[in-house]
Amino acid sequence: MNRLIPILSILFLTLTLWSCDEDDNNEVQPAPPNNLLLQVEMTNEAEGEVEITFNANLSNFFRLFTGDSDEFQEFQSGQTVAHTYNQSGEFTIRVQAHTTSEVFIAEERELTIDLRDIDPNAGFESPESYEGYKLVWRDEFDGNTLSNDWVHDIGTGASIGLNGWGNNELQYYRQENTKIEDGFLIIEARREGFGGRNFTSSRIKTEGQQSFAFGRIDIRARMPYGQGIWPALWMLGDSHSDIGWPACGEIDIMEMIGGEENRVHGTLHWLQPSSSGGFHAEFGHSKRLSTGTLADQFHVFSLVWDESTITFMLDDQAYGSIDLRPSHMAAFKEKFFFIFNVAVGGNWPGSPDSTSTYPQQMVVDYVRVFQKVD
């Protein structure tokens, strides 16, 4: 598949002049500014970054509309402003040079931005077979819609008594934030108001459709980035609906915390027996990349799982194992289903800040499950 290069086209529009007639009291309005200059320069094609330069004579202040939100920025003088477009589409950049709030001139540029920067050849790719194993299930996301193996979790978790999904997360999960495109599963987190929340995203799972115990799991994916983002590829025990969490067990194949995009976390959660009835216990490992980040290109997040051990792997390199032989680890001898989601905010990553940009996407190329041949 060829890499598709972002296209940024700039169409110049005619300078438009707004002025006010004399009011009913025959008071003469201030003269508007003149010679408004607006220039737009693409500075990073791959990331949708542009520089917007503007200036005018006799202007007291400027208002800049970038077209990807309803808000504007106000400046007291002409200058060059850097801006990044994080989604494809057609946008109108508009600058107004003001004498007063009512007296101004304006100029616009139309932008067409096509960010198709998902390069399937960039990053690690795992084999389709392993000696001593057979492929028992896979999803390559080659269709036009999500397969029947997946169902959506919707909302904030409040309907099941876990408002914020038990982690004080900020997003509302919607089906509309999941799509299948060009052979990829894309889960998109957006800054938008819905259901009383300021962010939306998606959470999908194979509960009731596909679940597994033991084997090797490979998931090829590229992560989002930015403070407050929290993507996860994980599993819950099938017994979740009967005995709850953490008694059912949880396997986090991959978690990443925005702002620390060069580090992957693999973790187990379980119910640790005690005289008071048991408590939530967890243990895991993490690995930092030597170069780059998990958002730069695709990586393969793997789990090798048998009755005695779970081993976490990144790009076929093991970075930590956990012993399953103690009796309190019995949950990990049972079947688990998959959950893929992108959370926003929460106890671990914290909230987004002024550096966070949206939308953000977790892109999954495939998930494959192999089990040992008898």
| 3-state SS track over 182-203 | CCEEEEEEEEEEECCEEEEECE
How much of the chain, in percent, has pLDDT values that exceed 70? 90
**In contact, 337 and 217? CB cutoff 8 Å:** no
Is the confidence at residue 116, as pLDDT, over 70? Answer: no
Average pLDDT of the segment spanning 68-84? 94
Statement to judge: residues 35 and 141 lie in one domain: no
Alpha-carbon gap, residue 146 to 97, rounded angstroms: 48
Of 60, 85, 114, the residue that ends a domain is 114
Average pLDDT of the segment spanning 133-150? 96
What is the distance of C-alpha 83 from the center of its chain?
A: 19
Alpha-carbon gap, residue 216 to 239, rounded angstroms: 21
Is the confidence at residue 22, as pLDDT, over 70? Answer: no
Statement to judge: residues 222 and 353 lie in one domain: yes
pLDDT at residue 26 in the model: 62
Give the β-pairing of 49-57 and 79-84.
Answer: antiparallel
**In contact, 168 and 251? CB cutoff 8 Å:** no
pLDDT tens per residue across span 190-211: 999 999 999 999 999 999 999 9
Tell me the residue ranges of DSSP E strands in 223-344.
Answer: 229-237, 250-255, 263-272, 279-288, 299-305, 309-314, 317-323, 336-344
> Residue 123: inside a domain, yes or no?
no
Statement to judge: residues 362 and 286 lie in one domain: yes
Is the confidence at residue 47, as pLDDT, over 90? Answer: no
- pLDDT band of 46, cuts 50, 70, 90: low
Please identify which residue in the block is written with the tokens 């300078």: 15
Statement to judge: residues 149 and 105 lie in one domain: no
CA distances 116 to 63, 111, 146, Å, are 30, 16, 20
Average pLDDT of the segment spanning 156-162? 94
Range of the domain at 265: 133-372
**Between the CA atoms of 123, 233, 116 and 140, what dihedral angle is there, to the nearest 10 degrees?**
80
Alpha-carbon gap, residue 133 to 212, rounded angstroms: 14
Residue 278 CA neighbour count, 13 Å, CB half: 16
> Residue 1: inside a domain, yes or no?
no
Statement to judge: residues 83 and 213 lie in one domain: no
Of 114, 144, 162, the residue that ends a domain is 114
Q: What is the pTM of this model?
A: 0.73
Which active-site residues does the annotation give? Answer: 250, 255
Statement to judge: residues 181 and 95 lie in one domain: no
Residues whose CB falls within 8 Å of the CB of residue 354, separated by 6 or more in sequence, listed in order: none
Q: Which of 364, 368, 369 is nearest to 178 (CA)?
A: 364
Of 59, 86, 114, the residue that ends a domain is 114
> Residue 48: inside a domain, yes or no?
yes
> Residue 119: inside a domain, yes or no?
no
Average pLDDT of the segment spanning 11-23? 42
Statement to judge: residues 291 and 358 lie in one domain: yes
When divided into structural domains, the chain yields a total of 2
> Residue 93: inside a domain, yes or no?
yes
**CATH code for position 358:** 2.60.120.200
Is the confidence at residue 369, as pLDDT, over 50? Answer: yes
- pLDDT band of 11, cuts 50, 70, 90: very low
> Residue 127: inside a domain, yes or no?
no
Average pLDDT of the segment spanning 336-361? 93
Q: Which of 101, 97, 102 is nearest to 34 (CA)?
A: 97
Statement to judge: residues 70 and 192 lie in one domain: no
> Residue 159: inside a domain, yes or no?
yes
Average pLDDT of the segment spanning 349-361? 89
Give the β-pairing of 197-201 and 184-194.
Answer: antiparallel
* DSSP state at residue 313: E
Task: Kindly report the average pLDDT of the chain as a whole number.
Answer: 90
pLDDT at residue 19 in the model: 41
Statement to judge: residues 144 and 279 lie in one domain: yes
Alpha-carbon gap, residue 283 to 256, rounded angstroms: 16
More confident residue, 85 or 107: 107
Alpha-carbon gap, residue 306 to 311, rounded angstroms: 9
pLDDT at residue 110 in the model: 86
pLDDT at residue 28 in the model: 78
Statement to judge: residues 89 and 191 lie in one domain: no
Average pLDDT of the segment spanning 330-359? 94
pLDDT tens per residue across span 80-104: 999 998 877 778 999 999 999 999 9
Statement to judge: residues 204 and 349 lie in one domain: yes
Q: In the chain, what is the greatest distance between 2 CA atoms, to the nearest angstrom? A: 95
Is the confidence at residue 13, as pLDDT, over 50? Answer: no
Count of positions (residues) in the chain: 374
Is the confidence at residue 2, as pLDDT, over 70? Answer: no
What is the distance of C-alpha 58 from the center of its chain?
A: 44
Is the confidence at residue 7, as pLDDT, over 90? Answer: no
For 72, the token pair is 């504007």
Alpha-carbon gap, residue 190 to 16, rounded angstroms: 34
Average pLDDT of the segment spanning 236-259? 97
Q: Among 79-93, 95-109, 249-263, 267-281, whose mean pLDDT is lowest?
A: 79-93
> Residue 256: inside a domain, yes or no?
yes
Statement to judge: residues 148 and 287 lie in one domain: yes
**CATH code for position 34:** 2.60.40.10
